[in-house]
A and B are shown apart, each in its own frame.
Chain A
Amino acid sequence: MKISNVLRRISYTTGVAILTVATALPSLLGATVHAFPTGAQVTNRSIQMSSSKQSDTAVTYKVKFTSPSNYTVKGIVVDFCAGSPIIGDATCTAPTSFNIPSSPTIALVSGISGGTWVSGAASSNNRTLKISDSTGNAINNTTIEFDIQGITNSSTLGSFYGRIITYSNQGAGTDFANYAPGTEGSATAIDYGGIALSTAAQLTITAKVQESLVFCVYTTGATCAGATGTSVALGDANGVLSSYSTNYTNTAKFNVASNAQGGVVVRLKGQNLCRVASPCADANVGNIIVPSSTTPMTCQSDSAVTSVEQFGLRVSALGSGVTATAPFNCGSGSHGFDTNSTNGVGSTYGATLASTTGPGDEVSSTVEFMAKAATTSEAGIYTTTLSMIATGTY
């Protein structure tokens, strides 16, 4: 009994001593275990990267957080670590190949402004950003946001971390000046928080588009898909140039679509209306509007004179983006044609009928043909075969 009472008294004494010591411990423990910011954890904190690609350069990191304490902020540290976001963890190794320029470009967005926040920005060890201003900004549960430009992402695929600590002082000898992982400070280190980030692989998709040219010539239809017909009859209901004072007309169409960035040129190649088979000498034809030896080619007004023979054509309706070329760009009541062998329909590549200046979807243009006989025109069937040639410039 005595022994147990003694023991009981000893245990009570010991318990009291422990309580006493424990009461005194907080300040001792706070000073010796680690120096820790005195404020609170920053909330709604994030660091958004403009690129997650490994080793990407010129990347912008948007730092955003709400500092809950009521104080004047004069310094902010953002430290990037490969292994841990924990404030107070003395180990902070820069992610492999990660780099913040030693004099980084900072763009302030909200919460802090003016002073030397931007001009005094500096980084060390390729990973520790410090921004500060001796005057500071008074904040109280304020959202602070700023961009760090020119960062090189880690070459390691996966997660890494950022640590944010704010300071109420920034001069020489202060917690801010002496910042190091594990010794963030406790005198003027205020709010804090860790963030996780991640690089990631990329998806790469490749697709090819072929150079294309869609071109058709037709008399019936609206699109190349449904285009038919190649015969153009000039004359009265019977296909006869029966009136010597009448200009008989008929039409055909051409459509063009292409992704040629330099556009498409449509050329016309052939010969005059002729009573005999090719080659068709001038002596065997009705007179053409413009003698074959005349250049430059020009439009000629339609004649009602019975002694005048005429044959020609014009682009009477232009598709969007299509431009007609002389002598085929005539207005109503005029037509052109030239068989010269230099740049007319009789040349190697033909005469330019119309063109576009760039790529375009399928558009339709109309060519109007005109023929008129004279009282002296020889009887017979006059024909010609005209080719249209489209050339794209890619």
Chain B
Amino acid sequence: MRRGALVFACLLSIVATPNAVIYAVCANNIQSCSTNYSTDQTFFGSGGELNACSSGPTGYCSKQTAGEIGIGNTCSSGGTGYCAYAGFNTTDVPFLEFVVTSANIDLGVLSTSTTATANGTFSVRAWQAGGYTVTTASDPPKNNTYTLNALSSPTASAAGTEQFGINLVANTSPTTFGAPPQQVPNSTFSFGLAEPGYNTTNLYKYVKNDIIARANSSTSITTYTISYIFNIKPSTAGGTFTFRHILVATGTY
């Protein structure tokens, strides 16, 4: 009788993927499947809990594992190899996490003899994705109707000329500031990169609607550091320049 019950369960599993023969699309709540088989909540490790919560209606919850092994990206061989991302921190649905470290940075009074610099950070994670792009969506810094000159191509900082630009790498000029993209936990799991034009040390650029960062596959967290430069010339209009930097992350699935 017990054997009969096991046979029945397996048959139901096959039947529950009516389109599997043609498209191998997993049914709802099934994480992994092939044409004829599916598996869910696969875990290899010493133990853990998918949803551990403290008590009370406002308890905090977390996903926990102990000694999880086999995390990261793995692929079968060949040009048409199948790949998978193993580990509970991945998701089974299209996922985009985009966090900008909100900050109000006051550079004080600008000078024609020195460059003002600043840093900001953002991080991106995207699962079940073909990758993502991060676009800069703001106009350059403005003082009422006067817009600071934005560098249209990668250019070195020059005090005394009017310049606004950014990059996403570590720099030594005009000062030591910035950082390269940081892959979290490491580069076998995360693949975000600064876009060409914004990836050269000591060269800065700013064009509205440019892509400034991208990943070309599903990826864990990449933390980016934006380096800003502000230079003015004697004829730069007086007043307060404000730059509210809107960044847009777009995942491709």
Chain A interface residues toward B at CB < 8 A: 11, 14-15, 18-19, 22, 25-26, 29-30, 34, 36, 40-41, 44-53, 84-86, 88-89, 158-159, 161, 193-198, 200-212, 214, 257-259, 261, 359-362, 394
What separation, in Å, do the CA atoms of A294 and B196 have in the docked complex?
Answer: 68
Given A48-B135, A195-B251, A195-B253, A203:B241 Cβ within 8 A: no
Interface string of B224-243 (1 = CB under 8 A from A): 00101010111111111111
A-contacting 9-mer, from B45-53, B82-90, B114-122:
B114-122
Q: Which of A46, A206, A359 contacts B237 (CB 8 A)?
A: A359
Pairs across A and B, CB under 8 Å, 20 listed: A15-B4, A15-B7, A18-B8, A22-B15, A46-B251, A48-B248, A53-B246, A88-B28, A196-B96, A196-B129, A198-B97, A200-B100, A204-B244, A206-B106, A207-B106, A207-B108, A208-B110, A209-B236, A261-B237, A362-B234
Shortest Cβ gap from B135 to chain A (Å): 7
Query: B141 on the interface (CB 8 Å rule)?
Result: yes
Q: Which of A44, A50, A88, A394 contacts B238 (CB 8 A)?
A: A394
Query: B70 on the interface (CB 8 Å rule)?
Result: no
Query: B55 on the interface (CB 8 Å rule)?
Result: no
Interface SS of chain A: helix, strand, loop or mixed?
mixed
Find chain A residues with CB under 8 A from B109 CB: 207-210
Given A194-B253, A196-B96, A204-B242, A257:B103 Cβ within 8 A: no
What separation, in Å, do the CA atoms of A197 and B122 have in the docked complex?
Answer: 15
Q: Which of B235, B240, B244, B252 contacts A208 (CB 8 A)?
A: B240
Q: Which of A51, A205, A361 contacts B242 (CB 8 A)?
A: A205
Query: B104 on the interface (CB 8 Å rule)?
Result: yes
Q: Which of A161, A205, A206, A360 contacts B235 (CB 8 A)?
A: A360
Chain B interface residues toward A at CB < 8 A: 1, 3-4, 7-8, 11-12, 14-16, 18-19, 23, 25, 28, 93-110, 116, 118, 120, 122, 126, 129-130, 135, 137, 141, 143, 226, 228, 230, 232-253
Which residue, of B23, B94, B143, B242, has the highest number of chain A Cβ atoms within 10 A?
A: B94
Contact assessment for B105 and A206 in the assembled complex, using a CB-CB cutoff below 8 Å: yes
Shortest Cβ gap from B121 to chain A (Å): 9
Which of chain A's residues has its CB closest to B232's CB? A209
Find chain B residues with CB under 8 A from A206 CB: 104-107, 240-243
Given A26-B15, A196-B251, A206-B242, A259:B234 Cβ within 8 A: yes
Find chain A residues with CB under 8 A from B106 CB: 205-207
Which of chain A's residues has its CB closest to B22's CB? A40
What separation, in Å, do the CA atoms of A159 and B251 have in the docked complex?
Answer: 11
Contact assessment for B235 and A259 in the assembled complex, using a CB-CB cutoff below 8 Å: yes
Q: Which of B101, B126, B141, B246 contacts A52 (CB 8 A)?
A: B246
Contact assessment for B249 and A52 in the assembled complex, using a CB-CB cutoff below 8 Å: yes
Find chain B residues with CB under 8 A from A209 CB: 109-110, 143, 232, 236-241
Shortest Cβ gap from A155 to chain B (Å): 15
Find chain A residues with CB under 8 A from B242 CB: 204-206
Q: Which of B12, B14, B94, B118 contacts A194 (CB 8 A)?
A: B94
Find chain A residues with CB under 8 A from B238 CB: 209-212, 259, 394
What separation, in Å, do the CA atoms of A53 and B246 have in the docked complex?
Answer: 7
Contact assessment for B226 and A203 in the assembled complex, using a CB-CB cutoff below 8 Å: yes
What separation, in Å, do the CA atoms of A195 and B1 have in the docked complex?
Answer: 45
Contact assessment for A214 and B15 in the assembled complex, using a CB-CB cutoff below 8 Å: no
Contact assessment for B239 and A204 in the assembled complex, using a CB-CB cutoff below 8 Å: no
What separation, in Å, do the CA atoms of A202 and B98 have in the docked complex?
Answer: 12
Contact assessment for A52 and B12 in the assembled complex, using a CB-CB cutoff below 8 Å: no
Contact assessment for A159 and B96 in the assembled complex, using a CB-CB cutoff below 8 Å: yes
What separation, in Å, do the CA atoms of A158 and B124 have in the docked complex?
Answer: 11
What separation, in Å, do the CA atoms of A196 and B234 have in the docked complex?
Answer: 47
Find chain A residues with CB under 8 A from B99 CB: 200-201
Shortest Cβ gap from B100 to chain A (Å): 4
Contact assessment for A203 and B120 in the assembled complex, using a CB-CB cutoff below 8 Å: yes
Shortest Cβ gap from B76 to chain A (Å): 21
Shortest Cβ gap from A374 to chain B (Å): 45
Contact assessment for A207 and B241 in the assembled complex, using a CB-CB cutoff below 8 Å: yes
Q: Which of A22, A40, A200, A361 contacts B98 (CB 8 A)?
A: A200
What separation, in Å, do the CA atoms of A158 and B123 have in the docked complex?
Answer: 12
What separation, in Å, do the CA atoms of A137 and B112 have in the docked complex?
Answer: 59
Contact assessment for B3 and A11 in the assembled complex, using a CB-CB cutoff below 8 Å: yes
Contact assessment for B237 and A50 in the assembled complex, using a CB-CB cutoff below 8 Å: no
Q: Which of A29, A86, A207, A261 contacts B28 (CB 8 A)?
A: A86
Shortest Cβ gap from B108 to chain A (Å): 7
Contact assessment for A207 and B116 in the assembled complex, using a CB-CB cutoff below 8 Å: yes
What separation, in Å, do the CA atoms of A15 and B7 have in the docked complex?
Answer: 8
Q: Which of A26, A208, A210 contacts B18 (CB 8 A)?
A: A26
The 10 closest A-B pairs by CB, nearest first: A201-B102, A196-B96, A359-B235, A211-B238, A198-B98, A207-B107, A203-B120, A257-B234, A203-B245, A48-B250
Contact assessment for A195 and B94 in the assembled complex, using a CB-CB cutoff below 8 Å: yes
Contact assessment for B245 and A49 in the assembled complex, using a CB-CB cutoff below 8 Å: no
Contact assessment for A258 and B235 in the assembled complex, using a CB-CB cutoff below 8 Å: yes
Find chain B residues with CB under 8 A from A204 CB: 103-105, 242-245
Contact assessment for A207 and B230 in the assembled complex, using a CB-CB cutoff below 8 Å: yes
What separation, in Å, do the CA atoms of A74 and B103 have in the docked complex?
Answer: 46
Which of chain A's residues has its CB closest to B126's CB? A196
Shortest Cβ gap from A360 to chain B (Å): 5
Contact assessment for B137 and A51 in the assembled complex, using a CB-CB cutoff below 8 Å: yes
What separation, in Å, do the CA atoms of A204 and B23 have in the docked complex?
Answer: 47
Find chain B residues with CB under 8 A from A84 CB: 93
Find chain A residues with CB under 8 A from B241 CB: 206-209
Shortest Cβ gap from A153 to chain B (Å): 11
Which residue, of A206, A261, A361, has the highest number of chain B Cβ atoms within 10 A?
A: A206
Contact assessment for B102 and A18 in the assembled complex, using a CB-CB cutoff below 8 Å: no
Beyond the given pairs A193-B253, A195-B253, A197-B250, 11 more chain A to chain B contacts, judged by CB atoms under 8 angstroms and listed by A's residue number, are A29-B16, A52-B248, A196-B93, A200-B98, A202-B245, A203-B245, A205-B245, A258-B234, A259-B236, A359-B236, A362-B234
